[in-house]
């Protein structure tokens, strides 16, 4: 990418040429899709329809936070409440790739319904280069089918437009800063949401546990960063594992679940190193997770694996 201003001009021109009518824009509040939505709005004006889906798989406070990001970026959007259909589509599914396919399909079916209502033929998404490279786009094995790439069903009735598909994360961040998207250095969050941070079956109950644990990790790492006890890592979160394990509360044996804490440093998410988090921060996370999810989560682990050989997310 040359410079952000030039990229924006070119992307707007390309979008205008590609979309003669109306377009639905898949807007998750993440940096990639927020940039894509702003480009679409510049290019198409009222013919651009950004939709933010509450999948029921979002982080604590995310609906409010995303609304705020869109409002301060001056992006108009519609909120679609769709938790029931996402949980229904994931029922009994444990395979990570199948989860992504089901979620991708649920998004697309919802966008098709909205498209029908406004007379749109196109779907704009914020897919970036690592999404399709890791989804097997460039002579590689599929590492993860990003839900916005391989998760799109073959019979999709909308023409997909991806203005950011040649950019890497640091380049998208530069464009975001140029467009005035607030907090452009926010940590990334996977499109399939907490479904890929709940290993094993995805139920509202297990997602709630993952949501609480994720919020605790975020709060405690943010606090340590604010106090100067560590520098801000690239990404930090919790994963609910598919194991049952024995714990003890007072005099009672509890057969609960386990959470793994993942904190990594990275430049572009293609490689990453496990962060050396101060032990006191990990202890505090463990103490809070087992207390705030008492009787549900009884064990907290720290993941020391780099990428490669592991990936950043567990699924
Ligand atoms: P991995 O786990 O492949 O993650 O090392 C690399 C980066 O991508 C994010 N990620 C996803 N983002 N859809 C997304 O939009 C996905 O399916 C997905 N899987 C992983 C991950 O959080 C990390 O920043």
Give yes or no for residue 184 having a pLDDT over 70. no
Going from the Cα of 152 to the center of ligand 1, the distance in angstroms, rounded, reads: 16
Domain with CATH 3.40.50.620 in the chain: 4-179
Q: Which atom of ligand 1 is nearest to the CA of 151?
A: 17
Burial bucket for residue 17 (CB in 10 Å: 0-12, 13-18, 19+):
exposed
Domain with CATH 3.30.300.10 in the chain: 197-303
Q: Which atom of ligand 1 is nearest to the CA of 313?
A: 2
Geometric angle at alpha carbon 227, from 240 and 273, rounded to 5°: 45
Q: Give pLDDT, residue 151.
A: 77
* pLDDT tens digits for range 105-133: 999 999 999 999 999 999 999 999 988 88
191 lines ligand 1 (CB under 6 A): yes
CATH for 4-179?
A: 3.40.50.620
* pLDDT tens digits for range 271-285: 999 999 999 999 999
- Encode 121-155: b = buried (16+ Cβ within 10 Å), e = exposed: ebbbbbbbbbbbbbbebeeeeeebbbbbbbbbeee
Going from the Cα of 193 to the center of ligand 1, the distance in angstroms, rounded, reads: 10
Q: Which atom of ligand 1 is nearest to the CA of 100?
A: 17
Going from the Cα of 190 to the center of ligand 1, the distance in angstroms, rounded, reads: 5
Going from the Cα of 146 to the center of ligand 1, the distance in angstroms, rounded, reads: 7
Q: How does the average pLDDT of the chain come out, rounded?
A: 94
Q: So what's the architecture of 197-303 in CATH?
A: 2-Layer Sandwich (3.30)
């Amino acid at each position: 990418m040359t410079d952000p201003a030039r990229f924006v001009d070119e992307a707007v021109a390309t979008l205008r040429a590609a979309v003669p009518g109306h377009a639905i824009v898949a807007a998750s509040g993440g940096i990639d899709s927020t940039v894509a939505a702003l480009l679409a709005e510049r290019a198409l004006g009222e013919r651009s329809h950004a939709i933010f889906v509450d999948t029921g798989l979002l982080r604590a406070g995310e609906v409010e936070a995303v609304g705020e990001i869109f409002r301060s970026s001056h992006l108009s959007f519609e909120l679609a409440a769709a938790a029931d259909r996402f949980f229904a589509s994931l029922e009994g599914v444990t395979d990570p790739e199948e989860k992504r396919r089901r979620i991708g399909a649920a998004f697309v079916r919802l966008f098709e319904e909205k498209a029908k209502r406004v007379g749109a033929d196109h779907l704009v998404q914020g897919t970036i280069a690592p999404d399709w490279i890791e989804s097997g786009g460039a002579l590689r094995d599929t590492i993860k089918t990003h839900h916005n790439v391989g998760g799109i069903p073959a019979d999709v009735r909308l023409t997909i437009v991806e203005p950011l598909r040649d950019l890497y994360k640091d380049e998208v961040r530069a464009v975001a800063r140029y467009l005035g998207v607030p907090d452009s250095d926010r940590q990334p969050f996977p499109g399939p949401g907490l479904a890929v941070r709940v290993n094993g079956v995805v139920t509202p109950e297990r997602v709630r546990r993952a949501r609480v644990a994720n919020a605790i990790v975020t709060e405690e790492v943010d606090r340590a960063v604010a106090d100067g006890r560590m520098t801000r890592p690239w990404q930090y979160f919790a994963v609910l594992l598919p194991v049952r394990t024995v714990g003890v509360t007072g005099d009672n044996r509890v057969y609960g679940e386990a959470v793994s804490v993942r904190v990594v440093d990275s430049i572009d998410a293609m490689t990453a190193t496990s962060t050396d988090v101060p032990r006191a921060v990990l202890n505090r996370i463990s103490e809070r997770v087992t207390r705030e999810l008492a009787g549900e989560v009884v064990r907290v682990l720290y993941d020391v694996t780099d990428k490669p050989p592991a990936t950043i997310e567990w699924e």
